[in-house]
Amino acid sequence: MEQAFLRIGWYTQGTDCLGPDSRFAIWVQGCRKRCKGCIAQSLQSFDGGQAISVAELAEEILKSGTDGLTISGGEPFLQADAIAILLEKVKSARHELGVIIYSGMKYEELLEDSSAQKVLDYTDLLIDGEYIQELDDNRAMRGSSNQRMIFLSSRYTAEDMPEKRKNKLIFYDDKFRMIGIPTEETKRAMSLLRKQRED
């Protein structure tokens, strides 16, 4: 069987910024949406990031000992086949691992795609819909109010979700990355940092 690969921007482990408990978070590479105000523009290109074997990534997730897995991007469902294989591997080893996925596509669209359905079979919470800058209401777990939290299993409920947005800036060399969904304060800080880097 041919080895599956997933193109990702990066990943981190042990974060509490993208759902309840300690989480392994993956940001996949590539998105066609180009939403106004997107905070992850570096993840839009399909040529960026790195290709990592699904087997290697699954091993990293299982080794991490985290309680959950969050997949964002980029657009995860553009690599649905590889993500389905990844989720099958980690869930077969740890069925209790809670899976949260962010998508710019709507749930109804995903149901029409057989590859996407395989991913949804392993997903506990889907947060769907494009980011609309004008509808950013600073609420937890979503970028804008049009996005829905769709609970696909009994693993999580709305009460399990954080009440406020959590985020963290990670600095390395002359760059930074953000984990979580930014508050207005974080957006201002990121804008200032980008301006300073350009000057």
Cα torsion for 171, 25, 144, 78, to the nearest 10°? 110
Cα torsion for 65, 71, 73, 78, to the nearest 10°? 130
Q: Which of 44-58, 101-115, 126-140, 183-197 has the weakest average pLDDT? A: 183-197
Distance CA(96)–CA(90), nearest Å, equals 10
pTM of this structure: 0.92
What residues have CB less than 8 Å from 191, skipping those under 6 apart?
none
In the 8-state DSSP scheme, what is residue 41?
A: G
Q: How far is CA 67 from the centre of its chain?
A: 15
Place of tokens 């984990």: 179
Residue range 131-157, pLDDT digits in tens: 999 999 999 999 999 999 999 999 999
